[in-house]
Chains A and B, each alone.
Chain A
Amino acid sequence: MHPPRRFGQAFVHRLILLWLVVASGWVPAASLERNVLVLYSYGRLLPAAIETDRGLRETLRGASGEQVRVYDEYFDAPRFGLESYADTTVDFLRSKYEARRPDVIVAAGPQALRFLLENRARLFPGVPIVHEGIQAASIPPLPPGVVGVAHDIEVRRTLELALRLHPRARRIVFVTGKAEGPDLEWDTLVRGEARAFAGRVSVEFLSGLPHNVLLRRLAELDGSSIVFTRGYFLDGEGRGTSPLDSVRDMAVASGAPIYSPFDTTLGVGVVGGFSRTFVDVGRQTGRIVNALLGGADPSSMKMPEREPATLDLDWRQLRRWGIDERDVPADAEVHFRKPSIWEAYRGQVIAGVVILLLQAALILWLFAERFRRRRAERAVERQRFQLAHALRLAVAGELTAAIAHEINQPLGAILSNADAAELMLDSGADRRVELREILADIRRDDLRASEVIQRLRTLLTGREGEQRPFDVNELVLDAVAIVRSEAARRGVTLEARTAAGSVSTVGDRIQLQQVLINLILNASDAVAGLPDAQRLIVVTVTPGAPGGTLTVTVRDRGRGIAEGNLSRVFESFFTTKGEGMGLGLSIARTLVEAHGGRIWAESPPDGGALFCIELRQV
């Protein structure tokens, strides 16, 4: 093969390729591909590794138009001691990445950096190295071409915060593991930091204990202690675990709050702490790698001194340990906050409360309304009964003439008999038989007068509101007796047709008697001025079945009631009489209905009016 020709062929190929690129906008991947190799000290599933990888890839992807390929290798320390197979690893990596020679190598963690520095000449000499995730104290002197940002762990700040949030704490318990490398480095670090607190609180180390022994010890702690750990890789018996799993167990067992300066342990039961998140570490590293890929000179690169730390806290743990959120620094990010009902359903809660309040207001209003109505009803009822009472007295007044007549009749007889007796005695003759008759008559008339007075007394001064059983026949006879002389004065004949046997109802006898007298006087008015035969009023008692209803009717032969007025006569202030207020029947209805009865008027076909009172029969 001739080189020029080969060159020519290649040139043609390149031209065609260039044309294709220009014509289609397609960038051939192979030509601009850059390789980044990341060597992780620990296992692939360590949260720190996962988070760092995420940040790194995110940053690398968006850095330039170039296609950046990222390759990862995990040494899985401390489960595997890298020293024992370092040479093999060098061969392995050199063979593996022969065709994809890295442009930049990232050393994640101290083991990876140490391996690279020791084997750099054999591996990929001259390739720039970026370290990350290594505490300043663990970074060895670096040759040219090796850069990176120290990963400081905020032990002191986190502890200061913990002491502020737990003012009662008198002891700090540090928990460290036994793994050669990460655990022991961590142990060294915290022992150094712990010295700063030795004067203020007691400091205790639970280092390299068997896992279950440690958990027992933690369980014995109380609120006067603070646990500080980031977990460990190996326990005192050399059993492997992971920082995350170990911390999870500790959080379950511990009687004291646990603080950790790694955000990766947040969420398994740790209160929190100041930390640099591994995503940010990855991003930071990505930016350095981007600069190196862009051709920056590693020796002249300016590195940020440290990443800013963030304070991350677990809201559930704040609650668990009774930490007032007002004591939490304002720049803290509180995770896992369970929204309160108020926060989660604010709208619904407001709507619910509003509906509840409206409902309550409505109920209150209805109650008030009901109360007012009942009070008004009671007032109306009271007034009606007062009116009924007043009307009763008015009726009594109307009956005065008849009453006076009825009482004066026996009184007149008594006086005249006494006078006669006196004259007889004066005459000197022996008229003993006659005198005896006179005395008998006087006694009889005296009783008669007192009977009238007795009857009228109930009408005039009887107490209302008494609910008692009584015979309706007697009621009718009494009412008729009271009105009879007034009826006679007006030339009206009264006829009472009582039922055979007693017909009882329960109620206020006086009020019902008043109703009946009212109906009889109304009937008397209706027949006034009519021919003799029509001046007749008949009061009839019709018994019903026991427990049923009895009826009392007042029938007159007067002018009757117009069909349209049959129901209106019971309305207040409705009257067809020249005088009268039109209250009598309305009050009669009130009184009857107060007894659970009914009152109505009818127009019998043969003339006159018929008033019916229906009452419960007992």
Chain B
Amino acid sequence: MSTPLIHVVDDDDSLRTAILRLLSAAGHEARGYASTGDFLLHASLDRPGCLLLDLNLPGPSGLELQEELLRRGVPVPVVFLTGHAAVPDSVRAMKSGAEDFLTKPVERHTLLGAIDRALARDAAQRQSRAEADRLWARFARLTPREREVFERIVAGRLNKQIADELGIAERTVKLQRAQLMDKLGAGSPAELGVFAERLKQLRTPAPGA
């Protein structure tokens, strides 16, 4: 996994330069953008990292960019930085899942702390997203019939009940049960339950879906 990259979006050249300098001195890799459009055009978001976003930007504002990223399903944590914090703006930002909301001028420890938290969250998110990907990949290997059986096992049905519902032999159910547990890498019915639970948690936006 590559090192995190911090994206700094601020229209004020001087401030952006200073922030980039500070992040760099603190051992981070960071890149600056003068506007929302600049960021959307040039930022590569496959690397882990976070976004340090000025609230008052010419053209589309920082809030608008945050909402756009959410819409595009880019789960990059956002730290807002503003010259003058208006309460409605901060509320809106936090509701949209902002990591933090900082006011200029910002203390080094506050800024770096927020950045660290954002990066940690990104890392965690990326890890869980990777695990989910694995789960989804296994789940994708199941045949339609096996998925039907899986859903009924997870719902707590007995083999006989499943066979009746699907109109197949109980033996066939047993066979498919064994196959799907194998495909999903579950050693016991309990493990199958855990898998189902985690899958359910991840059902919301699947990458590439």
CB-CB contacts of A441-457 with B at 8 A, as 1s and 0s? 10011001000000000
Q: Is the CB of A416 within 8 A of B83?
A: no
Which residue of chain B has the shortest Cβ distance to A445 in the bound complex?
B14
| List of B residues within 8 angstroms of A420 by Cβ | 18, 21-22, 24-25
Is B58 a contact of A419 with CB atoms below 8 Å?
Answer: no
A434 neighbours in B (Cβ, 8 Å): 21
Say yes or no: is A427 at the interface (Cβ < 8 Å to chain B). Answer: yes
Q: Which residues of A from 383 to 421 have beta carbons under 8 Å from B?
A: 400-402, 404-417, 419-421
Say yes or no for A488: interface residue by CB 8 A criterion: yes
Q: How many residues of A contact B (CB 8 A)?
A: 34
A496 an interface residue at 8 Å Cβ cutoff? no
Any A CB within 8 A of the CB of B84: yes
Instruction: Please measure, in the bound complex, the distance between the C-alpha atom of A427 and the C-alpha atom of B108, giving whole angstroms.
Output: 16
**Judging by beta carbons under 8 Å apart, are A419 and B83 in contact?**
no
The answer to the question of A489 belonging to the interface, with a C-beta cut-off of 8 Å to chain B, is yes
Q: Which residue of A lies closest to B24 (CB)?
A: A420
Return the chain A residue nearest B11 by Cβ.
A488
Chain B nearest CB from A488 CB (Å) reads: 6
Q: Which stretch from B99-107, B122-130, B139-147, B201-209 is at the chain A interface?
A: B99-107
Complex Cα–Cα for A427 and B22 (A): 13
Q: Tell whether, in the assembled complex, residue A416 and residue B103 are in contact, meaning their CB atoms are under 8 Å apart.
A: no
The verdict on A424 contacting chain B, using a C-beta distance below 8 Å, is: yes
Confirm or deny: B26 has a beta carbon within 8 angstroms of a beta carbon on chain A.
yes
B175 lies within 8 A of chain A by Cβ: no
B25, A412: Cβ atoms under 8 Å? no
The count of chain B contact residues (Cβ–Cβ below 8 Å) is 26
B46-90 contacts to A, CB under 8 A, are 56, 58, 61, 81-84, 86
Say whether A409 contacts B12, CB under 8 Å. yes
Distance to closest chain B CB from A355 (angstroms): 74
- In whole Å, how far is A492's beta carbon from the nearest beta carbon of chain B? 10
A414 near B18: Cβ-Cβ < 8 Å:
yes
Known contacts A404-B84, A489-B56, A409 near B18 by CB under 8 Å: no
Determine the distance from Cα of A427 to Cα of B15 in the docked complex, in whole angstroms: 22
Is the pair B56, A441 in contact by a Cβ cutoff of 8 Å?
A: no
Question: B5 at interface (Cβ–Cβ under 8 A)?
Answer: no
Contact between B14 and A413 (Cβ–Cβ < 8 Å)?
yes
- Of all chain B residues, which has the CB nearest A431? B25
Question: Which parts of B1-60 form the interface with A (CB within 8 Å)?
Answer: 12, 14-15, 17-19, 21-22, 24-26, 56, 58
With a CB–CB cut-off of 8 A, which chain B residues contact A562? none
From residue A491, how far is it (CB to closest CB) to chain B in Å? 8
Alpha-carbon distance A448/B14, docked complex (angstroms): 11
**A438 interfacial contact with B, CB 8 Å:** yes
CB of A488 within 8 A of CB of B58, answer: yes
Q: In the bound complex, what is the Cα–Cα distance between A424 and B23 (angstroms)?
A: 11
Nearest Cβ on chain A to B27's Cβ, whole angstroms = 9
Q: Find chain B residues with CB under 8 A from A424 CB.
A: 25
The answer on a CB contact under 8 Å between B86 and A416 is: no
What does DSSP make chain A's interface, helix, strand, loop or mixed?
helix
- Determine if B105 and A416 form an interchain contact, defined as CB atoms under 8 angstroms apart: yes
Give the distance to chain A from B197, nearest Cβ to Cβ, in Å. 45
A423 proximal to B (CB < 8 A): yes
The 8 Å CB contact of A488, one of B18, B56, B104, B107, is B56
Q: Is the CB of B107 within 8 A of A415?
A: yes
Q: Are A423 and B106 neighbours in the complex by a CB distance under 8 Å?
A: no
Select one of B14, B82, B83, B86 contacting A406, CB under 8 A.
B83
Decide: A409 and B104 in contact? CB cutoff 8 A: yes
Contact B14 A444 (CB under 8 A): yes
Pick the contact of B83: A404, A421, A427 (CB < 8 A).
Answer: A404
Q: Which chain B residues border A401 with CB–CB below 8 Å?
A: 84, 86
Inter-chain CA distance A423–B21, complex, in Å, is 10
Within the complex, the shortest CB–CB distance from B162 to chain A, in Å, comes to: 59
Residues of A with C-beta under 8 A to B25: 419-421, 423-424, 427
9 tightest A-B contacts by CB? A405-B83, A412-B104, A423-B25, A419-B108, A416-B18, A404-B84, A412-B105, A415-B105, A420-B22
- A-B residue pairs in contact (CB < 8 Å), sample of 24: A404-B84, A405-B83, A407-B83, A408-B104, A409-B12, A409-B83, A412-B15, A413-B15, A413-B17, A413-B19, A413-B105, A415-B18, A416-B15, A416-B19, A416-B108, A419-B22, A419-B107, A420-B25, A423-B25, A427-B25, A441-B14, A444-B14, A448-B14, A485-B56
Residues of A within 8 A of B (CB): 400-402, 404-417, 419-424, 427, 434, 438, 441, 444-445, 448, 485, 488-489, 491
Q: A413-B17, A416-B105, A423-B26 are in contact. List 14 more A-B contacts (CB 8 A).
A: A401-B84, A401-B86, A405-B84, A408-B105, A409-B12, A411-B105, A412-B18, A412-B81, A413-B14, A416-B22, A416-B111, A417-B22, A419-B22, A420-B18
